[in-house]
Amino acid sequence: MKILITGVTGTLGSVLLRKLEADGHFLYCLVRSSGKLSPAARLKALESKAISIGGDITKPMCGLSAESVAMLKDAEIDAVLHCAASINFSLSKKAETHLINTGGTANVLELAGGIDAKSFHHISTAYVAGDSKYFSESDLQKNQVFRNPYEKSKFDAEEMIRLWCLRHGIPFSIYRPSVIVGDSASGEIESFDGYYGFFKYLAAMRDRARENIRLGISNGFAKMVKGNLVFFPITIRCSFFSTINLVARNWVADNI
């Protein structure tokens, strides 16, 4: 198959990229520039031989030139696989999350229509269920209350995809993984976001303690051990009853 895929530098997209290439699919990857790295350089860093196409899903037609759109249309793309997303839950980032997850999906759909893609596949989240007590894979609108801007943005994206694909007669699939973590065997992951965001605070505390120790500032129980390691005991309040559904990214990619 010829597949146009977004989000290949992300937690799930990078695994899907490797698996789809290994299965012999011909991939076109929509990649945005990052700092001094070009789309081609970012794709090369993933050791991929796919074709990189510079773009930005927050722009109309994903920021593609007329030449790139014509090239993709001539390629007769079998499927668009939309993995790119923001997983920021913060209220302060609500506008940005909506721009990427909802507006970005609208732009990818527009591009899919412009290149006459034969099918559309979208990575959503199980948490479009919001606070619903019961929610099946065929459900979407159950008057659920969303707990953060991320959940709402992914719900809006799903609703848009269903309407657009039904109107255009294009088959579509929506995948709803729960909380994605690293590889089931090695733990490997590209970035510490989502579930791992909590640990960024612990790392920041460690770094502050390390710097204070270097400056001779008292840190209570904190001390350096074994070279650069920091002994910094803390207490974290946890619930004995709440649960969280974690899924390994390779398992999710295999199912998709």
Give me the pLDDT at residue 80, please.
98
Sequence-distant (6+) residues with CB within 8 A of 110 are 60, 61, 62
Rg (CA), the chain: 21
Q: Which long-range CB contacts under 8 A does 193-197 form with residues at least 24 apart?
A: 193/11, 193/87, 194/11, 194/87, 195/244, 195/246
Amino acid, res. 13: G
- What confidence score (pLDDT) does residue 242 get? 87
Q: Please identify every stretch of the chain with a pLDDT value under 50, giving residue numbers as ranges.
A: none
Alpha-carbon distances of 139 from 116, 134, 144, 177, rounded to whole Å? 28, 9, 11, 15
Q: What is the pLDDT of residue 219?
A: 67
Question: How far, in whole angstroms, is CA 136 from its chain's centroid?
Answer: 22
Predicted confidence at residue 224, as pLDDT, reads 78
List, edge to edge, every strand of the sheet that includes 2-6. Answer: 51-54, 26-31, 2-6, 79-82, 120-123, 172-175
- Alpha carbon 17 to chain centroid, angstroms: 13
Give the global pTM. 0.88
DSSP state letter for 100? I
Q: Which residue, 5, 147, 142, is CA-closest to 82?
A: 5
Q: What angle do CA 143, 149, 150 make, to 5 degrees?
A: 95
